[in-house]
A and B are shown apart, each in its own frame.
Chain A
Amino acid sequence: MAGGAFAEAGADLELIGISKRFPGFTAIEELDLRIPAGSFFALLGPSGCGKTTTLRLVAGLEEPTTGRILIGGKDVTNVKSFKRPVNTVFQSYALFPHMTVLENVAFGLRRRNIADPVGKAHEALRLVELDHLAARRPLQLSGGQQQRVALARAIVNRPALLLLDEPLGALDLKLRRQMQLELKSIQNEVGLTFLHVTHDQEEAMTMADTVAVMNRGQIEQMGAPEELYELPKTSFVANFLGQSNLFTGPVTSSTGSSIVVDVAGVKVEVPKDRAQRHAGEVTVGVRPEKLMLHTSAPKQSAGSNSLGPGRVTDVSFSGVSTQYQIAIPGIGLVTVFAQNMVFGPVVNLGSAAWVSWSVEHGFGLLDEPERAPRFAADTDTATIAMQTRHELLAEIEEA
């Protein structure tokens, strides 16, 4: 693959039964993954979940213990990294400190004897808006600029598969947004396959067509960002991708379209097509922004679930929305995101509150009950402290 012209288009990437064991621990366990050509695929997971190892296996910087790697249908498992049609944007950038920015970008082109390496390198630098710094050394640039040079150095080679290892980590929010859009437009423009590894769920969701959530060396769930967000299958996905309120209880009855779960004595209804399991002990959940906050007990109606009363233990204002923590006896803490449609918090710290949500917003998880998170005692220490404080305040007012 090395030598010759640019890749015409992106290539499929296929991982078949990949395992990677290091002395003492297993980084990846029996991973199967197929990334179609031209897609923007994100591997999302916490640090240590095996996502970077997966990337290094694809780049050829590590050898899998078992399994095969196919790029564009060709088995590259035993192909050395410098012969793979793959380029990486490293998390550490790994820009050569002894070369100018321009020579860094032209490095891959020169190695493959591609015509006009300097012209093409300038073009790539213009794309990341750094052409005016072409003569500088990488260490004379800021972190964000170095990251963009690393990006240019990889993209300039037009690899069939571009690997991105947390490439936007060092950028500030504004520049990160800009680079996200730019990356996306580059990907659309040249039709390359992008494999993006990140622990930033927002980045994964805004950029990728398909997101795979990785945990402990395995893919927990894979799909379009909306799908993953709307219908998480495991409690790990439900909590890693955004936040979730999860409740565990046995299924007590089941109608044609929904199941009813008994959560600490309260009936919670979940649509059958949004629940992974329909019997036994199940964990159900709802996203915080789907919850409605009430200051009095909401009327029981057919299409909605409600929990309460609870006590508001935390109110944090974050601009467009306010996050409330409500401690409900027997259930635990429930998080609510409320859009700031009116000024100031709707409910005050310490006051009683109820929450409700439409049945269609709930989801049921696949997790076995023992894997579901165990809830803390009815009232945690923060709640107890808050209640004591209010009691004391009341006493002071009375006195």
Chain B
Amino acid sequence: MATGTTMTSNTASNMAGDTLLKVEHLSMKFGGLMAINDFSFEARRGDITALIGPNGAGKTTVFNCITGFYKPTMGMITMRQKNGEEHLLERLPDFDITKKAKVARTFQNIRLFSGLTVLENLLVAQHNVLMKASGFTILGLLGLPAYRTAAADAIEKARYWLEKADLIDRADDPAGDLSYGAQRRLEIARAMCTGPELLCLDEPAAGLNPKESLTLNALLRGIRDEGTSLLLIEHDMSVVMEISDHVVVLEYGQKISDGTPDHVKNDPKVIAAYLGVEDDEVEEIEEKLDKGVIEEGTV
């Protein structure tokens, strides 16, 4: 690690298991619509936690509540950092969630600074570190060496993530010029440059071809192994089942299942939610499952 802002994989695995993010009784109301209703879950440090559910289940709303873009109607979101510091995310303004609570995110429809180069995108992500180093611009204007070292460090950190995301050759091209898959990776690399302990990814595999999907999985595993926990929303079940350690299923704003990928994929409620059966048919499916009519893992 070039920067030392995140811990190495060793320490991460030592600490694995303790709760990193705790969402309790989260509710979000838009006008008369209850988008999220009394939703609770926990994400553990060192895990890749996946939040899945049918379209319109409220996954992105949960994300926006965690990352401060929405203020939840009710509920508590606690982020516990490695150093023991705790932040109540629902009380922080969105930028402080990244800056102080160390939760970074990406967006469902990629939001890059398309007119800045790839490298510049990664430098913007290190804004707060650089601001401090530049004495909030004033010392930097005078050209003091402290800022120059910090700026060089920032470029090194950017280079590290560019290599990880396989974008090093495109560093000086405008971000808007990259292919879709590369833009996805850049957005993740950019979020990592903020030095997060929890990285929230909103459908990272959406629109990727199978090859790009594989590269993405490798990148995400790499990020986890370096000590950053992940929380992701995903539609692509192959991604979810392959890389996540823990899956939470959301339907109509409520949690319907929570557990390991194996547990979730055999949960009749989940099957019902995904296949869209009526409530009374759920039991039927449960019976069939018991009899082995439906093979496990076909969903």
The answer to whether A and B interact is no
